[in-house]
Amino acid sequence: MVELSASLSNAEPAPDLAPPLAALWWAAKGNWDAAHKIVQDESDAHSAWVHAYLHRVEGDLSNAGYWYRQAGQPLAKDALEVEWERLVLALEGGKS
């Protein structure tokens, strides 16, 4: 989480970030559209998990539920900030 969080002062995410982490970077910057655009066409479980988080941010819990199922993750019920941190830790550590 330190790496991604430290890069939030930059104007853009690092070019070598994996799509799910790049999407989380944009989400942290408040650009939901840019974040969603990155993960909406990805087919891996990590992108699906980030996609679920983004729909939760949006308030579309039905759509979020679909993407949590696609990711093989339980429906998150904790604070959005806590889930963002959990996602970053999992993705930077290569864990799901």
Q: What is the DSSP string of 15-82?
A: TT--HHHHHHHHHHTT-HHHHHHHHTT--SHHHHHHHHHHHHHHT-HHHHHHHHHHHT-PPP-S-HHH
Q: What is the mean pLDDT of residues 43-57?
A: 97
pLDDT at 94: 56
Asked whether residue 24 is assigned to any structural domain, the reply reads yes
Asked whether residue 78 is assigned to any structural domain, the reply reads yes
Q: What is the mean pLDDT of residues 8-33?
A: 92
CATH number at residue 62: 1.25.40
Handedness of CA 4, 33, 40, 96 (dihedral sign): positive
Is the per-residue pLDDT at 2 higher than 70?
no
What distance, in Å, lies between the first and last C-alpha atoms of the chain?
14
Q: How many CB atoms lie within 10 A of CB 10?
A: 10
Q: Which residue has the higher pLDDT, 79 or 1?
A: 79
Number of domains in the chain: 1
pLDDT at 1: 44
pLDDT at 4: 81
pLDDT band at 52 (very low <50, low <70, confident <90, very high): very high
Asked whether residue 10 is assigned to any structural domain, the reply reads no
Is the per-residue pLDDT at 23 higher than 70?
yes
